[in-house]
Amino acid sequence: MPYKTVSAAASDSIVIEKSEFIAKIAPVSSSEEAAAFIDYVRAEHRRARHNCYAYSLREGFEARFSDDGEPQGTAGAPILDVIRKNALSDVCIVVTRYFGGILLGKGGLTRAYSSAASKAVSAAKIKLMHEAKTVSLRLDYSYYDRVLRLLPEFEVKTASQDFADKISLSLLCKEELCEKFMAEVRKLSNGNISASASEVFFADFS
């Protein structure tokens, strides 16, 4: 199944009643990577009172969160809720709070952490990951233009091209369209184009 994640780390911040909330989001693919990102943010903000976080992983549908000293349910859970509402996977968000001296109450804290996390998501570039295969084609020059015209129809992306005695193409194809695309390539060339496909992996089709 396709899933959404972020391309790279991003951050944003808000100030509410003199407290600064700095939210950072990053792509992670394991609990170890999430822990490393959380430790990185904590080290960057050693003097902050709270570094609250949540992360969600596609593998095993794992999700974790922490209020890091804030009242229970006011920080980690709202951050995780933002991740889920945006249908993101393999991401971690850490919201650092520099306390400004004014108590916000449970409702105020929940809104603050949710808003900060949402700003981090908005600052990030979202990418859509699909199950894909790399399709390798080797063809005569006479077939090149006809193959190129097929690519948009099957949502195929060109990864690389090599022009020698024959043309070698490395193409990124969604797994569910791969067999149909390769069949169409064989059809247009009467089987004269050499075609092979890799194992399935996830690739960015955003």
> What is the DSSP secondary-structure string of 143-156?
GHHHHHHHTGGGT-
Examine the domain organization and report whether 104 and 152 are in the same domain: no
Q: What is the pLDDT, as a whole number, of residue 206?
A: 80
Same domain, 139 and 195: yes
| Whether residue 153 is found in the same domain as residue 93 | no
Tell me, yes or no, whether 60 and 38 share the same domain.
Answer: yes
Write the pLDDT tens digit of every residue in 64-76: 999 999 999 999 9
What's the number of CA atoms in the CB half-sphere (13 Å) around residue 90? 18
Last residue of a domain, one of 77, 105, 124: 124
Average pLDDT over residues 149-177: 96
Domain closes at, from 124, 156, 178: 124
163 falls in which pLDDT band (50, 70, 90)? very high
- 45 and 113 share one domain: yes
Identify the domain containing residue 26 by its residue range.
3-124
Residues 103 and 196 in one domain: no
> Mean pLDDT throughout 133-143?
96
The confidence band for 199, taking pLDDT boundaries of 50, 70 and 90, is: very high
User: Which CATH number goes with the domain that contains 134?
Assistant: 3.30.70.240
**pLDDT 10s digits, 80-89:** 999 999 999 9
Using pLDDT thresholds of 50, 70 and 90, give the confidence band for residue 60: confident
The verdict on 114 and 146 lying in the same domain is no
Return the SS3 of 107. helix
> What confidence category does residue 1 fall into, taking pLDDT thresholds of 50, 70 and 90?
confident
Q: What is the pLDDT of residue 102?
A: 84
Percent of the chain with pLDDT over 70: 100
What confidence tier does 101 reach under pLDDT thresholds 50, 70, 90?
A: confident
Helix H segments across 23-74? Answer: 31-44
106 plus 161 within the same structural domain: no
Same domain, 170 and 95: no
**Residue 59: pLDDT band by 50, 70, 90 thresholds?**
confident
Count Cα neighbours of 68 within 13 Å in the Cβ-side half-sphere: 22
Q: Where among 93, 109, 124 does a domain terminate?
A: 124
pLDDT at 205 over 90: no
Same domain, 88 and 161: no
For residue 10, what is the domain's CATH number? 3.30.230.30
Specify the pLDDT at position 69: 93
- The domain tally of the chain equals 2
Shared-domain flag, residues 168 and 94:
no
Both 19 and 70 in a single domain? yes
Residue 52 in tokens: 């609250």
SS3 content of the chain, % helix, strand, coil (to 5): 35, 35, 25
